[in-house]
A = this chain, B = another copy of it.
Amino acid sequence: MILRYVVCAALLAGCAQSPIALRDMGSFDVGGREVTVSGKPVKEVVFTPGGVPAKVDLNGTYLVESMYVQYFLPAKPRGAVPLLMWHGGGLTGVTYETTPDGREGWLNWFVRQGWDVYNSDAVERGRAGWAMYPDIFKGEPLFLPKDEPFGRFRMKGSQFPVDSYDNFVRQIVPRWTTTDDAIIAAYTALVDKVCPCVILFHSQAGQFGFKVAQARPEKVRALIAVEPAGQGDPKQADRLKGIPTLFVYGDGIEQDARWPTIRRNGVAFGEAITKAGGKVDVVDLPKAGIRGNSHMLMMDRNNLEVAALIQRWLEQQGLYR
């Protein structure tokens, strides 16, 4: 194992210099539903200063709650199935791209290993767009002051590149707490379109990854729950018994006010899967000798070390050729 890791680290350094060869890359939108809105005015809109006014009737049918997916397909695929990356709350697929301090993120790294990667923006955020509220989305969006996530994401004294914290804040988008059903519906449509697959999900997407896998267990070959903040339905844990599942937790959890409970809930859900006959691995990174990780593991200075751990686990599941 040690030799293997050294080889991998050497490869990492080499890979960063070598070209990324793709047989294709592109994007699509998936899911959504039509909603009819009435009682709105007809507006005269000047879209551009000095432009030609246009009459816009705000009444009619809206197409809402679809999601955006971008894919990168390596020229020499080695993953047995595609790898889907689902981001956390208030964030988008940018989570997995270049880190806030300009290093390579998990998206590039897993593409370089030969995985077909589908990186997406969930309903409500980023390129998925959002719907008018309170007409269609219920409730109001939540905006976060720039310092707010710093504590909640356990960044102080961590491996997170704190000097580039502002670049992380620039990635944050407004969020609702009332759109979960729409998000799950669109993720399910995505799974129906591109799977069988592995789903790697982070934080808020804990509930989405597990719930969508419970809805489509035959489509999912493995689940990687990266610091999940939510779970699936514990009463349906048996629906996950055929899907190898990895939980990954970072450092500093015990010193935090909320994270011991969040972790306990996640591990309890994993135990329910195990009890139902499933195969669950829980990795607390500090216990595996990987120290200092914040909640944003995929951006931390040692992000590729964590990626390599996930890669090895996927290999052990026979999902890499």
Q: Which residues on A are within 8 Å of B, measured CB to CB?
A: 19-29, 32, 34, 37, 43, 45-52, 54, 56-63, 66, 68, 70, 72, 75, 89, 92-94, 97-98, 102, 104-105, 108, 121, 125-127, 129-132, 141-148, 152, 166-167, 169-174, 177, 180, 204, 206-207, 229-231, 258, 261-262, 265
Contacts and interface: CB of A to CB of B under 8 A. Distances in A.
A58 B108 CA distance: 35
Contact of A27 (B28, B50, B94, B230): B94
Contacts of A28: 98, 102, 167
Contact of A61 (B59, B66, B146): B146
Given A21-B19, A207-B49, A230-B51, A148 B60 contact: yes
B37 A145 contact: yes
Contact of A104 (B26, B129, B141, B206): B26
Q: Closest 7 CB pairs between A and B?
A: A60-B145, A29-B170, A26-B98, A48-B230, A129-B173, A19-B75, A66-B170
Given A25-B20, A98-B26, A48 B146 contact: no
Q: Which of A54, A93, A141, A143 has the most CB of B within 10 A?
A: A143
Nearest to A16: B24
Given A21-B20, A45-B142, A143-B132, A230 B26 contact: no
B265 A50 contact: yes
A60 B229 contact: no
Contacts of A89: 47-48
Contacts of A20: 21-25
Given A19-B23, A58-B145, A61-B147, 13 more contacts: A20-B25, A29-B167, A46-B177, A48-B89, A49-B207, A51-B230, A51-B262, A54-B152, A57-B148, A125-B129, A129-B170, A129-B174, A130-B174
Given A56-B142, A146-B63, A170-B66, A49 B127 contact: no
A209 to B, nearest CB: 12
A231 B50 contact: yes
A207 B51 CA distance: 10
Contacts of A68: 94, 170-171
